[in-house]
Amino acid sequence: MAQEIAYQNKHIEFKILSETFKERSFAAYGLDLPRIREVLPTNLPVVAANEMRMDNLFLLEDGTYAIVDYESKNRKEDRIKYVNYIGRDLERFYREHGKVPRIRMIVIYIGDVRQAEHTFNTGCVNLELEQVFTANLPAEEIYETVKGKLARGEELTEQELMQLIILPLAEAGREKKQERVRQVVGLAKQIADEAEQKLVLSGLLVSSDKFIDKEDAEGIRREIYMTKVGQLLFEEGMEHGIKRGMERGIEQGMERGIEQGERRERLLAVRNLLKLRIPESQILEMYSRDDLKNARELLGDQEIPD
């Protein structure tokens, strides 16, 4: 059950991220790149059990792809990880589209890292990294500027919105990062434009994933889901999760929606399966005995054979 909920949260957050990052620019981070055309799934053909997935994958307006990873350390093993990312993406894109794409590898270092080699040369492979050092951001100045503009009811620029997303990363030390996350969430709640608010909150959730406390992450999710568009995407995610659970017939996929009023729809689904004369043994692979009993009661049959 927990794995299904986690999957559904990721699905919903991916949908929100996809909607809000379209046509945005990395210029606020000091990178001269085309605007984002599309946010792509980060699942790779092969992922080792102890290996993290890439943080973001973007399709840019010029047809190139940008892999983005957030790092707290400058390590050679991370560069090996990037080569793996690129190799697997090349394999996937070539298999799906029959061509080799141009890929950019972008690394955003948090405030604890101030310098790193921009190349990784193994002889036959020369990896060129496009790097951002958030320690160079004037974090307090950005925060006070945005705070003042919001207090006066002024609109924020795209640069200010994108900078807010990575503002906590400019801080050194976990506690300072956590405090800056809370400050940025407070500012985001004051943004009048709902799309811009979702941009900051969803981007913050992704960029801060590697150091943010669970409680703060859940707080950001609640703020996202409170927006109108966030609610619509949440409902869409629920439908996706229910369908996935039914197709796979495992982990009682319908139960994930119980807190969102999905109990009735679950019982109706079981009732419909009964009407189609689906064997009870198959129904019980997807639903509980209580679901089956309650659904049969809707049909007027009070008893279930043991």
For residue range 9-23, what is the model confidence (pLDDT) as tens digits?
444 556 666 667 888
83, 112, 135 - which closes a domain: 135
pLDDT interval class at 108 (50, 70, 90): very high
For residue range 63-100, what is the model confidence (pLDDT) as tens digits?
999 999 988 889 999 999 999 999 989 998 999 889 99
- CB-side neighbour CA atoms (13 Å) of 175: 0
Q: How far apart are the first and last CA of the chain?
A: 25
CATH of the domain at 103: 3.40.1350
The answer to whether position 110 is within a domain reads yes
The answer to whether position 65 is within a domain reads yes
More confident residue, 128 or 49: 128
pLDDT for the residue 219:
76
Domain count, the chain: 2
The answer to whether position 224 is within a domain reads no
pLDDT for the residue 107:
95
The answer to whether position 252 is within a domain reads yes
pLDDT for the residue 5:
35
pLDDT for the residue 18:
67
* Cβ-Cβ contacts under 8 Å for 19 (sequence gap 6 or more): 195, 198, 229, 233
Inter-residue contact 167 to 184 (CB < 8 Å)? yes
For residue range 92-102, what is the model confidence (pLDDT) as tens digits?
899 988 999 99
pLDDT for the residue 300:
67
What is the C-alpha radius of gyration for the chain, rounded to an integer number of angstroms? 23
pLDDT for the residue 14:
60
The answer to whether position 244 is within a domain reads yes
- Structural domain boundaries, residue 88: 31-135
CA dist 16 and 36 (Å) reads 15
Phi, psi of 305 (to 5 degrees): -65, 145
CA dist 55 and 53 (Å) reads 6
What is the three-class DSSP state of 303?
Answer: coil
Question: DSSP string spanning 155-193?
Answer: PPPHHHHHHHHHGGGGSSSHHHHHHHHHHHHHHHTT-SS
Rounded (5°) CA angle 58-59-64: 115
135, 167, 189 - which closes a domain: 135
More confident residue, 227 or 79: 79
For residue range 157-178, what is the model confidence (pLDDT) as tens digits?
999 999 999 999 898 888 888 8
The answer to whether position 251 is within a domain reads yes
100, 135, 170 - which closes a domain: 135
Does residue 58 have a pLDDT over 80? Answer: yes
The answer to whether position 198 is within a domain reads no
The answer to whether position 183 is within a domain reads no
